[in-house]
Amino acid sequence: MAISNEYIQQKLTEKFGDQVFNFEETYGMLSFEAPKDLNLKVMQYLYDEPSLGFQFLTDLCAVNYPDDAGRELAVVYHLHNLVENTRIRFKVFTSIATPDVFTASQLFSSANWMERETYDFFGVNFVGHPNLKRILNVDEMDYFPLRKEYPLEDQTRIDKDDEMFGRG
Amino acid sequence: MSDHNITLAEDAIERKTTTINLGPTHPATHGVFQNIMELDGERVVSSEQTVGYIHRAFEKLAERRPLYQITPITDRLNYCSSPINNMGWHLTCEKLLGVQTPKRVDYLRVIIMELARIADHLICNSIVGVDSGAFTGFLYVMQYRELIYEIYEEVCGSRLTTNIGRIGGFERNFSNTAFTKLEKFLKEYPVALGELESLLTRNRIFMERTIGGGPISAKRALNYGFTGPNLRAAGVDYDVRVHSPYSSYQDFEFDIPVGKTGDNYDRFLVRNAEMWQSMRIIQQAYNKIQEFKGTEAEVYHADVPEYYLPKKEDVYTKMEALIWHFKIIMGEVDMPKGEVYHAVEGGNGELGFYLISDGGRTPFRLHFRRPCFIYYQAYPELVKDSMLSDAILTMSSLNLIAGELDA
């Protein structure tokens, strides 16, 4: 018996008022947004409230929206209530100039590496993270490669010498 | 330890711990895994993993590729069960595009996915055997993995990195050879699996090596984001196939095997039991497929001309088909806007695809939820205070696949 999306929305609105907003349902999954300094409070509430019980962090990642000034980076949490089998998507937005978001690694051990990965690729600074360093890329890297400002190599470029690869 | 009466000097060698580098290319790690371990004698005091040796920036690559060009990327995630990844990706696309697949396609997919699950568990379990000193089982069951690969080959033409299927179905109908091979597999594999079990399950050496090694409680496993057989071995009956059925899994009757202690032995037992359940599912799916008669028995894809590639012989002979082939491959059909999360039960856990489309030709963002990346972080907690050789065994019983870990 799944919890209805309306009920989740109602409970969240009761607790946080208009601090939680942008509720939408995409392909059956409830998605909403909160200010970034509330992310832990919202997740703790979702975790502790018995009738919600979102105690499993399925996924954590970031998205870069370069055209959205002041909200360039979104950190997206996918939470799952395994008992009632309901999933929700929770987003916080932050500016790219001060990408500080509180870490969820005290609440979910699984967030540790996922936040490191998010830091590695997007430069989201998870405040309070026990070991925030690069994980998949080399330590010497000085940029955050999944940000949209770094396009993949332009395949029409002509300045590259491919002779060594038999394409000269 | 009976060293109560021995007084050791402050700088005695017995007081010191040794730091070793396990990996990244050590043969016992079965992949590119590095662990820096602090050992007290043979006991692990602490360990720290280094990952990312074969990172290939799949998520960045995917932002420049239309849907069909992403399928080969997913092959290279968990390469022991590529078809599950491929179909997970196609199911994600279908969810975004709103494509309904016919039942026969679903059942054919279920057959291929369960074969892939068997191939995956087969490798993992026999490797656990190898690491505990029993090489025989591994070599023996390889011929059944070979048979599974031959079935893939009949369906899509390749074996390891399969790139199997299309959005909406399969590239071709299953040939009679494929079904003959499937029948052979259904007939012969239970015997071999039974023999693998009788070789290991009640083998005293194997039991003593694996029982109690690398245990995790259900609570910790959930907090660490475990999914798949590793979570079920800890006693949580979460299975994506049952919780959020995809590809008509709700039509099948099967059990979710669970363990209790979450140790290496339970993980082994859960995988073995899952292989039996997969056999059950394949048999049911095969029976259901045989019930289709007439034109229904020829259906192998949904009718979605905008996304399903035209037949190869048409591409070579007809202008219209050639144009569509080009348009689909180069992604000249715009996707609808939307955000989709779709999960499938992969070989080692919940494999999720988080796809954000802004209405263009390529995904705006694609994130893979890779199960073993998430549960590998529990490794130091699992192996703390265990023997080094048990730490190796724990690593192989977690079913870590470097390709998926590093994406």
Confidence tier at A168 by pLDDT (50, 70, 90): very low
Q: B15: pLDDT confidence band, cut at 50, 70 and 90?
A: confident
In whole angstroms, give the CA distance from residue A36 to residue A94: 7
A23 in reach of chain B (CB within 8 A): no
A152/B contact by beta carbon, under 8 A: yes
- Crossing angle of helices B388-397 and B103-131, in 10° steps, is 170
**Structure tokens given for B301:** 């894809």
Mean predicted confidence (pLDDT) in A38-59: 92
Instruction: Look at A155-159, B154-158, B255-259 and tell me which has the smallest mean pLDDT.
Output: A155-159
Determine whether the interchain pair B64/A113 forms a contact, defined as Cβ–Cβ distance below 8 Å. Answer: no
What is the per-residue pLDDT for A157?
64
Q: Is any Cβ of chain B less than 8 angstroms from the Cβ of A147?
A: no
| pLDDT at residue A154 is higher than 80 | no
Q: Do B52 and A137 make contact, defined as CB atoms within 8 angstroms?
A: yes
Q: How confident is the model at residue A164 (pLDDT cuts 50, 70, 90)?
A: low
- Predicted pLDDT of residue B234: 94
The yes-or-no verdict on residue A167 having pLDDT over 80 is no
Of all residues in chain B, the one with the smallest CA distance to A110 is: B224
Amino acid letter, B77: L
* Class for the domain spanning A5-147: alpha beta
Which of B237, B342, B367 has the highest number of chain A CBs within 10 A, making it the mutation to test binding with A?
B367
Q: What φ, ψ does residue B10 adopt, rounded to 5°? A: -60, -40
Cβ-defined contact of A61 to B55 (cutoff 8 Å): no
State the pLDDT confidence band at B330, using cuts at 50, 70 and 90: confident
3-state SS track over chain B: CCCCCCCCCCCCHHHCCEEEEECCCCHHHCCCCEEEEEEECCEEEEEEEECCCCCCCHHHHHCCCCHHHHHHHHHCCCCCCHHHHHHHHHHHHHHHHCCCCCHHHHHHHHHHHHHHHHHHHHHHHHHHHHHCCCHHHHHHHHHHHHHHHHHHHHHHCCCCCCCCCECCECCCCCCHHHHHHHHHHHHHHHHHHHHHHHHHCCCHHHHHHHCCCCCCCHHHHHHCCCCHHHHHHCCCCCCHHHHCCCCCHHHCCCCCCCCCCCCHHHHHHHHHHHHHHHHHHHHHHHHHHHHCCHHHHHCCECCCCCCCCCCHHHHHHCHHHHHHHHHHHCCCCCCCEEEEEEEEECCCCEEEEEEEEECCCCCCEEEEECHHHHHHCCHHHHHCCCEHHHHHHHHHHCCCCHHHHHC
Q: What is the pLDDT of residues A111-125, one digit of tens each?
A: 999 999 999 999 999
List pLDDT tens digits, range B17-72: 889 998 788 777 788 889 999 998 889 999 999 998 999 999 999 988 889 999 99
Interatomic CA distance for residues A57 and A77, integer angstroms: 7
Residue B3: its pLDDT value, please?
Answer: 58
pLDDT value at position B41? 86
In one letter, which amino acid is B233? A
Put the strands of the sheet holding B350-358 in their side by side order.
Answer: B337-345, B350-358, B365-369
Structural domain spans, chain B: 58-406
Distance in angstroms (rounded) separating the CA atoms of residues B113 and B351: 13
Q: Which residues of B83-92 are buried (b: 16+ CB within 10 A; e: fewer)?
A: bbbbbbbbbb
Contacts of A56 in chain B (CB under 8 A): 222, 225
Distances (CA, A) of A163 to A160, A168, B186: 9, 4, 52
Q: Which residue among B52, B96, B341 sits closest to A78, beta carbon to beta carbon?
A: B341
More confident site: B333 or B120 = B120
Domain boundaries along the sequence of chain A: 5-147
Q: What is the pLDDT of residue A1?
A: 53
**Nearest chain B Cα distance for residue A130, angstroms:** 13
- DSSP label of A162: -
- The arrangement of secondary structure in B58-406, i.e. its CATH architecture, is Orthogonal Bundle (1.10)
The angle subtended at Cα B164 by Cα B158 and Cα B168, nearest 5°, is: 155
Contact A58 B369 (CB under 8 A): yes
Mean pLDDT (chain B, rounded): 91
- H helices of chain A, in order, are 5-16, 39-48, 111-122
User: What pTM, to 2 d.p., does this model score?
Assistant: 0.92
Helices B67-75, B319-329: inter-axial angle, 10-degree rounding:
60
Residue percentage of chain B with pLDDT more than 70: 99
Across the A/B interface, how many CB contacts are shorter than 8 Å? Answer: 87
Angstrom distances, CA of residue A107 to CA of A57, A62, B44, B381: 9, 19, 27, 17
SS3 A114: helix
According to DSSP, the β-strands at B43-50 and B34-40 are antiparallel
Do residue B238 and residue A112 have CB atoms under 8 angstroms apart?
Answer: no
CA distance B245 to B177: 29
Q: Residue A40 to residues A43, A105, B259: CA-CA distances in angstroms?
A: 5, 10, 33
Compute the distance between CA of residue B59 and CA of residue B57 in angstroms, rounded to an integer.
6
Give the strand pairing for A86-94 and A100-102.
unpaired
Q: Between chains, do B63 and A114 touch, taking CB under 8 Å as contact?
A: no
Tell me whether the omega of the peptide bond preceding residue B310 falls within 30 degrees of 0, making it cis: no
Rounded distance between C-alpha atoms, residue A60 and residue B84, angstroms: 22
